[in-house]
Amino acid sequence: MKFLVLHGPNLNLLGKREPGIYGTQTLENINSSLVELSSVLGCELSFFQSNSEGELIDNIQAAARECDGILINPAAYTHTSIAISDALSAVGIPCVEVHLSNIHRRETFRHSSMVAPVAVGQICGFGKDSYLLGLRALFNHVKNI
Ligand code: CA2
């Protein structure tokens, strides 16, 4: 099994700015914890981060040919991007949406997700663990399809 891990805009700044909101973990820390978990589960991962909506969509489309599922933190595009939602829906492979923060206890504009309706599920509020829980959930979901 192979999964694509997609990180949306500004997540490259993790651990370098605003540690009060998003913690001190860097994106590299998160990715290496995911790699550790993938070797326990017995699956393969590829990673991509972009600040550009189009590049995220290109990678979602490419994943349909190469991957069994997508673990995605669409960051601010969560709340705005019909294009990312359409791409996830079009490729037809399962996706799990994750967020470091609990988007439902933050500003009202963060409460809605364009991605949630096309995702298997959403995990938020657990920092790095949101990603690790999300990978476990995606792996189990795909295994049971
Ligand atoms: O909690 C999450 O994971 C979010 O997806 C993070 C997004 C935010 O727009 C979503 O509402 C919730 C923001 C990512 C920005 O990351 C930064 C990291 C360090 C410094 C500044 C921004």
Q: Is 131 a catalytic residue?
A: no
| 64 CA from centroid of ligand 1 (Å) | 26
Q: What is the largest CA-CA distance in the chain?
A: 40
Residues in the chain, total: 145
pLDDT of residue 20: 87
- From the first residue on, what is the mean pLDDT of each consecutive set of 10 residues in the chain (145 residues)? 98 92 94 98 98 98 97 99 98 98 97 98 98 98 96
Options 7, 77, 99, 131, the catalytic residue:
99
- Name the CATH topology of 2-70+84-116: Rossmann fold (3.40.50)
pLDDT of residue 65: 93
pLDDT of residue 125: 97
Which pTM was predicted? 0.98
Domain ranges, ordered by start, for the chain:
2-70+84-116
Q: β-strand 121-124 against 44-49: which pairing, if any?
A: unpaired
| Torsion angle in degrees (nearest 10) through CA of 50, 116, 41, 36 | 40
Options 7, 22, 77, 131, the catalytic residue:
22
3, HSE (Cβ side, Cα atoms, 13 Å): 30
Q: What is the DSSP letter of 110?
A: G
Q: Is 99 a catalytic residue?
A: yes
pLDDT of residue 18: 84
- Beta-bridged to residue 122, according to DSSP, are 97
pLDDT of residue 28: 98
Mutate to test the pocket of ligand 1, among 100, 106, 124, 131 (most ligand atoms within 8 A of CB): 100
